[in-house]
Amino acid sequence: MGIILASASPRRRELLALITEDFTIIPAKGEEKADDTLEPQLLVKKLAEQKAVEVSSEHRKDFVIGADTMVFCCGKALGKPRSEAHAREMLTLLSGKKHTVITGVAIAQNGDVVNSFFEETKVEFFTLSENEIDSYIASGEPKDKAGAYGIQGKGALLIKGIEGDYYNVMGLPIGRLYHTLRRMQII
């Protein structure tokens, strides 16, 4: 029995390594089926569960960790930007406002979810000028990040403050995951 991270995210890999170096990465490949009628917390949890179960179905003895992070602002779910124009639209929406970052985490074994939870963090952006937005987009950093920013990089310059788990904004609430894995006697 080992631990598998069902994600190709370098940030999640880096964070899970804080708990254990003994894990394998096998990203989920299936199409995410988002049910937009769900509350945001349940939506990200369900997406994380889909990823964990998909990989767990082929690696039944292992414990598989799936995660999904989304940004919610003004009633809109902000995933990863599809283009620079989409990133600009998201960053303009976030400018000068508070928003919520929610990460769902699921642990699966034998093709079934054995534990899942979500974590929320409130983030407030400074009011951004068009030049600041353009410069940030030009850095290339927004490409693969929910809400078009990364708190751990140049995106830190956009953030006025946070309330909650910093690592949740990076994509994995590592403290809560650590205590969950310990309680389940996986580590």
The pLDDT assigned to 45 comes to 96
Spans of the chain below 70 pLDDT: none
The pLDDT assigned to 30 comes to 80
The pLDDT assigned to 36 comes to 75
Write out the CATH class of domain 3-183. Answer: alpha beta
List the chain domain ranges.
3-183
Residues that are catalytic: 68
pTM greater than the 0.75 cutoff? yes
The pLDDT assigned to 31 comes to 73
Exposure b/e, 137-150, CB count within 10 A at least 16 = b: beeebbeebbbbbb
Strand partners, 99: 123
Half-sphere exposure of 30 (CA within 13 A, CB side): 17
